[in-house]
Chain A
Amino acid sequence: DVKVTQSSRYLVKRTGEKVFLECVQDMDHENMFWYRQDPGLGLRLIYFSYDVKMKEKGDIPEGYSVSREKKERFSLILESASTNQTSMYLCAGATGETSTDTQYFGPGTRLTVL
């Protein structure tokens, strides 16, 4: 059974803090994604990575960066957390060369920035 894990289910941080969200997949998937999910807006793509050390901006990359040093691990970094980054963050992995393949999601991290 495929598995994507995220480091925390719930996280509370202060404005200005640097925040690391970790995601690990055991599916040997090339592609990994970070989304945020907000009520009424659905999932919005922040960044994706199609290979180790490779990354591409999604629709809302501002205020975020990512790191992929190993194939199984994809980290999302909030350089200086702000209250408008309070959200549910979902990591996903997918095989194949395009977004037409099934994405497998982790359980999500609910981040609150105070």
Chain B
Amino acid sequence: RKEVEQDPGPFNVPEGATVAFNCTYSNSASQSFFWYRQDCRKEPKLLMSVYSSGNEDGRFTAQLNRASQYISLLIRDSKLSDSATYLCVMATGGFKTIFGAGTRLFVKA
């Protein structure tokens, strides 16, 4: 079983839609969680960190559920520019970082 699992998608949504991605993890010792965004043929870039209390950045909301061992990303009012691959990332402390395989999102006009 992979340490971090994501639905690969693709998710095809119209502009203005709300879309949610989940990511499950198997290591209960995981300490920190992040969402990275990767545009086609580009490098990954940090989108946001994920905190137990949940956090919001504009149209993006991230949640962590330690009991069920998953994190989520909600995108409201989708824009064409949101089309990308979203990577779920987990850090267990030290220098070990685990990346999910990514969920592809296509936002269409």
Contacts and interface: CB of A to CB of B under 8 A. Distances in A.
Interface of A: 31, 33, 35, 40-45, 48, 50, 56, 90, 98-100, 102-103, 105-108
A99 B97 contact: yes
A102 B31 CA distance: 14
Contact of A45 (B87, B96, B101): B96
B91 A43 contact: no
Instruction: Give the contact-size bracket for chain B.
Output: 20 to 34
A105 B34 CA distance: 15
A22 B93 CA distance: 27
A33 B91 CA distance: 14
A25 B9 CA distance: 33
Contact of B43 (A40, A41, A90, A99): A90
Contact of B99 (A42, A50, A56, A102): A42
